Amino acid sequence: MEESYTLEKKEKTITKESISGSEALMKCLMAEGVETLYGYPGGAIMPVYDQLYKYQDRIHHVMARHEQGATHAAQGYSRISGKVGVVIATSGPGATNLVTGIADAQIDSTPLVCITGQVSSHLLGSDAFQETDIIGISTPVTKWNHQITKAEDIPKVLAKAFFIAKSGRPGPVLIDITKDAQFEEFDFSYQKCIGIRSYKPVPVVNKKRIEAAAALINSAKQPLIVWGQGIILSEAEDIFKALVEKSGIPAAWTILGASALPTSHSLNVGMVGMHGNYGPNMLTNECDVLIAIGMRFDDRVTGNLDSYAKQAKVIHFEIDPAEIDKNVTADIAILGDAKDSLTQLLPYLEEKTYSDWHQKFKDLYAIEYDKVIKNDIHPTKEGLTMGEVIHQINLQTKGNAAIVSDVGQHQMIACRYSNFNITKSNITSGGLGTMGFALPAAIGAKMAAPERDVIAIIGDGGYQMTIQELGTVFQQRIPLKIVVLNNEFLGMVRQWQQLFFDKRYASTEMTNPDFVAIAKGYYIDAQKVTKRSELKLAVQEMMASDGPYFLEVCVEKEGNVFPMIPSGAGVSEIRLE
């Protein structure tokens, strides 16, 4: 193992001093610019917590109420700031409780460094108290992981961990440190890692392919851009906007791409996928050139691949070579960082307008507005809708808030109807679909961006999966806004039961507690809205509040999210009702 470390490129900064492994860890974190981390103490990580006590003026440790909450908080922190999120937990159950958050970060390409304590090295494999093979367990859901049994390995492994987490296609890294390595003293020095010989994080953009892509785009009659989170991760928003505006091509987004281009932008034609907009889904199967940028053709985006954009030439801009031709075969694949690729592409593109093509999007939007959107955001029926709550939040935040959504119907509604003026404003669990994500993720997001309004939109089901993090909100006095859209159902599962399982509502009806009383139990200001007439004032009060605020909105019980591409159907089989 030691051999390979000499095969990494390092910055030249050397200072030597003899310190413990756990103090070295603090110095590594500070050298990597870590100011905030999320975690939960326990036996095998106690030497590290002892150092967190010593360094508390320089490193802010936020104690979650469950290790899963710590991972989602670190994810929220990372997603809004672009920095690496850091998590600390103890061995055994502390480590296994991280797994959901790590898996979420892996599939949504979120850079995390998770540090777990481990039993002392002489106890490894002895089924010691709180021993678990977290390296084995986390292997399939980490970009990289490593166990440290000697203090002297801490600096080089940590340097490598931060480099791997952040570079290329980002992802989670787990470092497991035995307790004896935390205690052991050694001569500390730190050098940042700037390269690993077996790892090529950013492919070089192929200029010939850029030219070929430009020629294909310039000759297109009905081109469509579908962008994903790659735009946000490579911080390519400005060049992307310039490219969209110059080329005049309608641009649609995947759920994780949301907010990279403002919702109100005239060339933003909405969301693709299962509950995306009617126009971009239908017209995916009419475009002649499909330009996919920083997205991975997830099944929730494509529906049935056999009837996905078969008529189109596909150009795929992507940083991860394994994504090329994985789900959709690319006619032109351009590997590289989206910002580099788009910067090279822009000068080749011709200025165009495509007015007839845009008219098709407008016509389909008009149909969707009439059949779905109007009834969602300006309902005339009795029950409150999720859409009108989001609409009210839009009006009062003017589209400047960061929206952190959980998973389910409210997530689809939040993504469909939120106005996003600012990038990195849609924080949600896209790939893994982790219920319980939003409350802790919103904690991390608000801490990373205290100047922004951060609003968690959560269903009554998901809220109860990580409701204990109200304790973190309270202890840290985090002024985030929590909106629970309560339909007394696991709404999305119920919708599927209604549509595909003959309304057999197996285990989806919720008997809920008094959510306001629970929030108040944590000394969080709270109110509940049951009538349309109360909504505006309640949202006003929430937004005007200086501290954390909880708002429960009782919405109609059996509302459905449309449009919808039924599971297994093609994008043009999208249903409006």
Partner 1 sequence: MCENKIYTVSIYTENNIGLLNRISAIFQRRHINIESINTSSSEIDHISKWTIVVELSEDRMKKIIGQIEKQVEVIKAYYHKEDEIIYQESCLFKIKSEFLFEERQIQNIIKDSNAKIVHVNREFFVLEKSGRTEDIELFHRELKAFGIMQFTRSGRIAVTKDEMKISEMLKVF
Give the shortest CB-322-to-partner 1 separation in angstroms. Answer: 4
**How far is it, in rounded angstroms, from Cα 404 to Cα 66?**
19
* 35 tagged catalytic: no
CA 285 – CA 372 distance, rounded (Å): 21
Q: To the nearest whole angstrom, how small is the minimum distance from the Cβ of residue 81 to partner 1?
A: 24
- Applying CB under 8 A, the site for partner 1 has a residue count of 26
The answer to whether 464 is a known catalytic residue is no
Bridge partners (DSSP) listed for residue 404: 427, 456
Closest CB 116 distance from partner 1, rounded Å = 14
Q: With binding defined as CB under 8 A, does residue 3 bind partner 1?
A: yes
Give CA–CA dist 550/129, Å, rounded.
40
| Candidates 17, 54, 56, 129; catalytic one | 129
Footprint (CB under 8 A) of partner 1, residues 102-141:
135-136, 139-140
Peptide linkage before 111 cis (omega within 30 of 0): no
Q: Which stretch binds partner 1 (CB under 8 A): 21-29, 251-259, 323-331, 388-396?
A: 323-331
How far is 8 from 164, CA to CA, in rounded Å?
Answer: 12
Under rule CB under 8 A, which residues in 302-321 are in contact with partner 1? 320-321
Residue choice 150, 246, 265, 326 for contact with partner 1 (CB under 8 A)? 326
Decide whether 165 or 272 has the Cβ nearer to partner 1. Answer: 165
Q: Is 129 an annotated catalytic residue?
A: yes
When binding is defined by CB under 8 A, the residue of 1, 14, 506, 544 that contacts partner 1 is 1
> What is the distance between the alpha carbons of residues 166 and 409, in angstroms, rounded to a whole number?
31
Is residue 156 involved in binding partner 1 (CB under 8 A)? no
Known catalytic residue at 179:
yes
Is residue 291 within 8 Å of 217, Cβ to Cβ? yes
CB atoms within 10 A of CB 289: 23
Q: How many residues are listed for the chain in this entry?
A: 577
Strand, helix or coil for residue 527: strand
Active site residue 188: no
Q: How far is the CB of 40 from partner 1 (least distance, A)?
A: 25
Of the candidates 67, 237, 388, 469, the residue annotated as catalytic is 67
Choices 38-46, 91-99, 194-202, 278-286 (CB under 8 A): range interacting with partner 1: 194-202
Q: What is the DSSP string of 382-447?
A: SS--HHHHHHHHHHHHTT-SEEEE-SSHHHHHHHHH----SSS-EEE--SS--TT-HHHHHHHHHH
* Chosen residue from 146, 241, 296, 424 binding partner 1 by CB under 8 A: 146
Q: Is 325 an interacting residue with respect to partner 1 (CB under 8 A)?
A: yes
* Whole-number Å distance between alpha carbons of 212 and 191: 41
The residues annotated with a catalytic role in the active site are: 67, 129-130, 179, 492
Residues that bind partner 1 (CB under 8 A): 1, 3-4, 7, 9, 135-136, 139-140, 143-147, 164, 195-199, 320-322, 324-326
